[in-house]
Structures are given as structure tokens and as C-alpha cells.
Amino acid sequence: ADAPVQVTLDASKPGAVIDRHVFGQFAEHLGSGIYGGIWVGKDSTIPNTRGIRNDVVGALKALKVPNVRWPGGCFADQYNWRRGVGPERKPIGAGEPNTFGTDEFMDFAQQIGTEAYISVNLGSSTAQDASEWLEYMTASADHALGAERAKNGHPEPYKVAILGLGNESWDCGGAMSADFYVNEMKRFSHFLHSYNPAQPTMKRVAVGPSGGAENYTEEVMKAWKSRSWSWDIDAMSLHFYATGGWPPHMADTGFDEKDYAVLLKDPTAMDDMIKTQSAIMDKYDPEKKVALAVDEWGAWLAPTPGSNPGALAQQNSQRDAVLTALSLNVFARHADRVRMANIAQMINVLQAMILTDKDKMVLTPTYHVFHMYVPFQDATFIPLTFDAGTYTTNGVTLPRVDAVAAKDKAGKVWISVTNIDAKSPATFSVSLAGVKATKASGQTLSAPKVSSINTFDAPNTVAPKALSAKVAGGKLTITVAPASVTVLGLE
């Protein structure tokens, strides 16, 4: 057996707070992410509250979702919000009936207890139109559009906590050069306000890079440094998909250990990209006032065979669970700069939490990792030192293990350990400096195979199990299964 991994935890050297918004979700009008996944309509035989699935709401509530980014993605830059409000909805073909619009999204957000991250249409619409959308959402009924919302059955203004100023404007959001985008973004930032005194400010997110592109980062940050009173941003976005090489081609099921390892190289690539982009941001913003918002991330695989390729449907396996833990750990280690992230996407699309088919619903391995990581929301990062070692399979080399720790607001210390090695268990021996504890307990997520999945017929193939360990002589010792994720709280 491999030697135990010696980990040192020093609670006397806390780092930054891991912002709960790093555990955000993304729900785009794409495939069955909204229609079927969230919205079934009031007349559906599927149990619902005002058209929104009760089973999905119940499952999402347990994740304490901090924010949901909506309505896109690329969709946001072609979205006409007016077609999705009021009694007469204007469909855009069968795929977009517009029956789920602003009021339905806000109802959904309230049902799951999350904040709204609204991505406005900067690509194909105007600042006036986006400003009117905000008036519709956030103004009281003595404003014309607040009155329209009240007439549509929603007298109370909504809160918009986060505002996306375009999406991938270098490509689907309008194919804009960086300097052209910056001018547009400044105008939108200036003219868009929240009218709701209960949520007067909105975190404004500008478009940043994808891939290695740096010119957006330079232009956005240069502009921010010389900003005037009239506009501001709080974050710049970064999109990073784990694909094992573009275009998406890796199978979602039935893959081997090599493909497990190939995909798991990508969290390290994302870490590198965050470091590169953050270093550019540091030139203009050494105090890290502008957050990096990784507002699209996750595995993008080949579509499930037989599905409509445009729907971006894919299964979700234990490989996704390990990928999730490694990615969340990257964000935790960059907690001072990465203060927001949104996994793509919440339901039925790409690396989803939940899959649905008519009245059936199943929780994915990714869901379980998000659930296990809830204690890390707004907890303070505690640095760990350890030698991760290496795990090599089929010519692919990865770190053998990973681990992060944090202290929650109640003072409880949490540790997450991931065994990346698909064949051998791993033992962690954690020295706990500055933590008084006699035991650790929590949950572990492992699976018969790295490609194991949950299906509607077998929903618990990959499910967390309770786990506890003794702390003796200031040391926590725990052995975990191959390809597993474990989160423990010290008591």
C-alpha cells in the first residue's frame, strides 16, 4: 500500500473567506435545462407549485444555492424579456414557448431560496431595453414597469443581486473586439440600476476571457483602473470547461481509467488559467477589489448517444464527482480573487446536479459533492501542507490526492480529502495544530467504477455514506476508497 499522506493543518493561519457565491449555479434556456427540468406548467400532472417542479425545488434547497445565473449563456444576448412576461406569451418556435420568463424565474429563485444573477442582453439589444427590464424587476408599482409587473400578479419588487453585462462578447455575445466591448459595457454599467431599496446595489460582472485570451482581461481591467464616478464593475468573468481537448468529444459513460485521468487534468489547467488571469488583474488591481467570477465551468462531454446534440445532455459519473471536488478546491485556494463561480449547468445540461425525464428525477454524483461542500460556504480557508505525490495511468500523470480545509462561522473546522487514484485507497494522516477535536465525522462518496452513474432505475449507485474517524494525539487518520471524495467536520 502507498505510504500515508502526511497533512499539516494550521488553524492559526487562516486565509480568505470562501465566498458562498463560488457554489453558484447556471440555468440557461437550452435543451431541457428549463422546460422539463424546472418548468412543467401549472396544469402538469407532475407535482408543481405554480408550474415549477416540487421535486427539483426540494433537492436544490438542500444545496443552499447562493445564486442562479439566468437566462444564459449565449441565450442571454438574444433574449427578449418582453416576450416572456404577461398573459400573452410570444413563443419562438417549439423550443422556446416563453412560458418561463422573468416572473417564473423569480418565483423559482424564491422557492429554492437563492439570489438572482441576471445576465442582460448587451449583444443584440439596447441599454434602454435592459434598463426597462430592471425597472420591471425591481421598481415599485408607482413606476410604469413596476405597475406592469404588479398587473401581472407580482406587486412586490424583486431583488437582483448580480448583474451580468453580456456573455462571451468576444464570440456568441456579439463577436466584439475587446475595446468595443469595454465601451458597451461602460454604457450598460452606467445606465442600469436597481430600483429596489432592499437591494440597492448589484454586483456587476463584466465579460472576461475564455481559453488563453488575455486582451479582454487587459482592456476591462485597464478601463476599471481609470473608471469615473459614472460606472463600475465588481467582477470579471472567466469561462473554463473541462473537455480533455476542444471540441467536446469524451464519452459520458462506459469510459476507461485513461479517460478518467485525461479529464481530471483540466482542474490543473483551470488553476493555471486563474493564476495567469489573476496576475494580469493584479497589475491594475493589486488589492483584488475586482473578483474573478468563473461563471461557467464544468465538464463538457460528447452528448449522450441518441440525444439531440444541441441540447448538451450528458450523463454524470463518479469522474464528475472527483472533477467537482478538484475544481471547488481550486476556487477555495484562490478565495481572495475567485469570489463567484457558476457550474454549467444546473439541470439536464452539461455537468448537471439533477437529471429529469418527465416525472422522474435523479441526483447526480456532482449533486452529492455540492451537498457535501455546503459547510464550505462562507467558511474561512485554512491552508494545508502536504505532498500530493503522483498517480500515473495509461501514460497520464496526475497528483495522487488533494485536500482543503476551512473553518465555518460557528468555529467548526472542515476538511475535504480527495483520492484521485482510481486503483488504490489512500490514507491521510492529518496533524491538527490549533484545533481541539476528538473525532471527525461526515460523508464519503465513492463508486464501484470511475464510470459509475446514477440512473432513474438505479438512483443510488453513487451515493454518500456516513464516515467517522478518531482523532488521537492531535492526529486525524482516515483511509478512503479509490477515486473518492470525503468531507469531514472536526468535533
Judged by CB under 6 A, which stretch of 67-75, 92-100, 380-388, 483-491 contacts ligand AHR?
67-75
Give the residue, chosen from 18, 24, 27, 28, that forms a contact with ligand AHR under the rule CB under 6 A: 28
Give the residue, chosen from 71, 73, 84, 442, that forms a contact with ligand AHR under the rule CB under 6 A: 73
- Catalytic (active site) residue 296: yes
Taking the complex as a whole, the smallest distance from the CB of residue 88 to ligand AHR amounts, in Å, to 27
Tell me which residue has its CB nearest to ligand AHR.
73
Q: Is 166 in the site for ligand AHR (CB under 6 A)?
A: no
Output 312 or 405, the one with its CB closest to ligand AHR.
312
Cα–Cα nearest to 323, from 489, 487, 485: 485
Q: Is 235 in the site for ligand AHR (CB under 6 A)?
A: no
Taking the complex as a whole, the smallest distance from the CB of residue 22 to ligand AHR amounts, in Å, to 18
Taking the complex as a whole, the smallest distance from the CB of residue 29 to ligand AHR amounts, in Å, to 9
Q: Is 72 in the site for ligand AHR (CB under 6 A)?
A: yes
State the Cα–Cα distance between residues 428 and 477, nearest whole angstrom. Answer: 6
Output 132 or 296, the one with its CB closest to ligand AHR.
296
Taking the complex as a whole, the smallest distance from the CB of residue 312 to ligand AHR amounts, in Å, to 6
Judged by CB under 6 A, which stretch of 53-61, 69-77, 213-221, 443-451 contacts ligand AHR?
69-77
Contacts of ligand AHR in 330-359 (CB under 6 A): 344-345, 350
Q: Is 168 in the site for ligand AHR (CB under 6 A)?
A: yes
Show the binding pattern over residues 276-305: x = contacts ligand AHR (CB under 6 A), - = does not: --------------------x---------
Output 243 or 345, the one with its CB closest to ligand AHR.
345
Q: Is 74 in the site for ligand AHR (CB under 6 A)?
A: yes
Taking the complex as a whole, the smallest distance from the CB of residue 299 to ligand AHR amounts, in Å, to 11
Query: Catalytic residue among 96, 135, 168, 218, which?
Result: 168
Show the binding pattern over residues 176-205: x = contacts ligand AHR (CB under 6 A), - = does not: ------------------------------
Taking the complex as a whole, the smallest distance from the CB of residue 479 to ligand AHR amounts, in Å, to 38
Judged by CB under 6 A, which stretch of 9-17, 66-74, 260-268, 480-488 contacts ligand AHR?
66-74
Give how many residues touch ligand AHR by CB under 6 A. Answer: 10
- Catalytic (active site) residue 214: no
Cell triple for 32: 431541457
Judged by CB under 6 A, which stretch of 68-76, 82-90, 419-427, 455-463 contacts ligand AHR?
68-76
State the Cα–Cα distance between residues 242 and 264, nearest whole angstrom. Answer: 8
What is the SS3 assignment for the chain? Answer: CCCCEEEEEECCCCCCECCHHHHEEECCCCCCCCECCCECCCCCCCCEECCEEHHHHHHHHCCCCCEEEECCCHHHHHCCHHHHCCCCCCCECCCECCCCCHHHHHHHHHHHCCEEEEEECCCCCCHHHHHHHHHHHHCCCCCHHHHHHHHCCCCCCCCCCEEEECCCCCCCCCCCCHHHHHHHHHHHHHHCCCCCCCCCCCEEEECCCECCCCHHHHHHHHHHHCCCCCCCCCEEEEEEEECCCCCCCCCCCCCCHHHHHHHCCHHHHHHHHHHHHHHHHHHHCCCCCCEEEEEEEEECCCCCCCCCHHHCCCCCEHHHHHHHHHHHHHHHHCCCCEEEEEEECCECCCCCCEEEECCEEEECHHHHHHHHCHHHCCCEEECEECCCCEEEECCEEEECEEEEEEECCCCCEEEEEEECCCCCCEEEEEEEECCCCCEEEEEEECCCCCCCECCCCCCCCCCCEEEEEEEECCEEEEEECCCEEEEEEEC
Taking the complex as a whole, the smallest distance from the CB of residue 95 to ligand AHR amounts, in Å, to 14
- Residue numbers at the binding site for ligand AHR (CB under 6 A): 28, 72-74, 167-168, 296, 344-345, 350
Which residues form the catalytic set? 168, 296
